Structure 1
Amino acid sequence: MTQTTPFKWTSSSRTDVGLVRKVNEDSILEIADRGIWAVADGMGGHTLGDFASNAIVSALSDLQPRDSLEQFATDAEATLQAVNRQLRTEAYNRGAQIIGSTVVVLLACGRRCAYLWAGDSRIYLCRNGHLLQLTRDHSQVEELLSSGTLTAEAAIHHPARNLITRAVGAAELLEVDGEMIEVADGDIFLLCSDGVSNEVTDQEMRAALVTGNCPQAANELVEIALMRGGRDNISAVVVRADDLHVTEQTVLNPAL
């Protein structure tokens, strides 16, 4: 089935082991011509986090575009559920307590995008110069923030800020959150692991993304995280949507 979209999708990505860890447990996926992007962050401190994140990305890479965004998203969630079962079995066979990974996925179809996630890997949207975090972390700190028992300032250095409440492979039942959004000309999405979001400020993210240059933005975000100490693995996938209809109008009538 061939996916039709009125947008030209371009993207760029970069992942780095950082300056502290010996193994990069992050995995990234970037298939612009099929409208699929993802970041998976193997759970630090657990066995085979790199195996888990790679299993997720490998499975998602087999997804094929659909005429319906809803079906595309359903396929992606079914894929994550299958990997969840695979990782649970793998952990049992290896005698490991958990083999798991966070994940965030972006899917493009028509004039809309779907995004799915489990854990604290994030998606941001930069639109008309404004930055918006689309996902909500599945973490203990996020739960405290939502209940009003913790301030945003206190959350930055909270000792539980890295404790997540959902991940692929972490439990028998995988809960995946998902949303859909209408795409606008010039929209720029950022998918990233917490190696970026914990080190790079919203203002710095916006400054990098607003240029509209995907390779430059991905490199800049990773370099900032490295400059801050690179304490975790670092991954960024930057995706841009350009409305072909708007581009054609501008070419035909430069006055527009």
Structure 2
Amino acid sequence: MSYKTDVNTDIGTKKEVNQDSLLVKQGKTAAGDVVCVACLCDGMGGLSQGEMASSSFVRRIDEWFRNELPGALSKEEKTEELSANDMDNKSLKQVQIQLNLIVQQMNEKLKEYGRTQGFRIGTTVVMMVIVNDEYLVMNVGDSRAYVFTNSQIGLLTHDHSYVQQQMDLGKMTYEEAVNSDKKSILLQCIGASEEVKPDFYTGSCNKGENYLLCSDGLWRKLDPNEIVKIAAQRDGLKKLTELVKNRGETDNISGLLISI
């Protein structure tokens, strides 16, 4: 199985700093299998502080990919030398354990930095790890992961936001949530929450599927069917970005696409 990736990030129409950070990495096994890791973070805080929060988490994932992921997948020391026989759900369970530990460590690190500087900073994260035809998705906050084909789309993650909680409780409709002045309030994010409990989702990849990781700046003003129609086109992420900017989106706008 092989993967094609596309990445696009845009500062938006009013922000002074792009607080979104993205990463995509691939490594081949000795048997020719491919490991793909994608990570997207949406930082929050005054100006450069949000960018620092998101970029520091992405840098930690880059370090993890190079130094710790190989040990989770194989006894070999390098990603390029992984044995295909070790690529199974047990490996992804070990990946989940490692990622949860990283989230807890980064939450404490960013909280401590904020305390010493006298302000609060934080970041969302949505992340996907694919090993052979199995995937693991992790999210904290309201950055999302979608899976779609040329005819249908599904949401893989569940927002950790006030409006999502109200919808879950039956106290708010989707239309009310979209128009709520509280739609940007998060129930948890890395660095600004006392405790962080990331959600994890697992599944199988199939040929012809596409996976979109995106910040709220991209998904908030899109109908899911527009993702189906546009995202996998040539320069599809750029087209979606221009579409939401034309609809008045002022936030940073970022997307990361993995096509199977």
Query: Which bin holds the TM-score, normalised by the shorter protein?
Result: 0.7 to 0.9
Written as runs of structure 1 = structure 2, the 5 A alignment for 1:49-198 is: 49-62=50-63, 63=65, 64-65=69-70, 66=73, 67=87, 68-96=91-119, 98-127=120-149, 129-198=151-220
Pairwise CA distance, 1:73: 2.3
**Distance (Å, rounded) in 1 between the aligned partners of 2:237 and 2:62:** 21
The letter for the 1-side match of 2:112 is T
> Any stretches of 5+ residues in structure 2 without a counterpart?
28-34, 74-86
Aligned to 2:243: 224
**Distance (Å, rounded) in 2 between the aligned partners of 1:19 and 1:46:** 15
Aligned to 2:41: 40
**Distance (Å, rounded) in 2 between the aligned partners of 1:25 and 1:206:** 26
Count of aligned pairs between the two proteins: 231
CA RMSD for the aligned pairs? Answer: 1.6
**Distance (Å, rounded) in 2 between the aligned partners of 1:160 and 1:46:** 21
**Distance (Å, rounded) in 2 between the aligned partners of 1:158 and 1:26:** 23
**1:12/1:30 contact within 8 Å kept:** no
Aligned to 2:21: 27
The letter for the 2-side match of 1:227 is N
**Distance (Å, rounded) in 2 between the aligned partners of 1:221 and 1:61:** 27
Question: Which range is displaced more, 169-178 or 52-61?
Answer: 169-178
**Distance (Å, rounded) in 1 between the aligned partners of 2:136 and 2:104:** 17
Question: Which range is displaced more, 139-148 or 65-74?
Answer: 65-74
The letter for the 2-side match of 1:26 is D
Identity %: 29
**Distance (Å, rounded) in 2 between the aligned partners of 1:75 and 1:15:** 27
Pairwise CA distance, 1:150: 0.8
Pairwise CA distance, 1:172: 2.9
The letter for the 1-side match of 2:247 is R
- Following TM superposition, the consecutive aligned residue runs of length 4 or more in structure 1 with deviations greater than 3 angstroms are 44-47
**Distance (Å, rounded) in 2 between the aligned partners of 1:105 and 1:180:** 12
TM-score (norm 1): 0.85
Pairwise CA distance, 1:138: 0.4
**Distance (Å, rounded) in 2 between the aligned partners of 1:79 and 1:186:** 32
CA offsets 1:123-176 (integer angstroms, 9 cap, x no match) = 000035211111111001001100111111211101111111010011232111
CA offsets 1:217-240 (integer angstroms, 9 cap, x no match) = 222221212222341000000101
> Any stretches of 5+ residues in structure 1 without a counterpart?
1-6, 242-256
Question: CA 1:46 to 1:138, structure 2 compared with 1: closer, same or farther past 3 Å?
Answer: farther
TM-score (norm 2): 0.84
**Distance (Å, rounded) in 2 between the aligned partners of 1:56 and 1:162:** 21
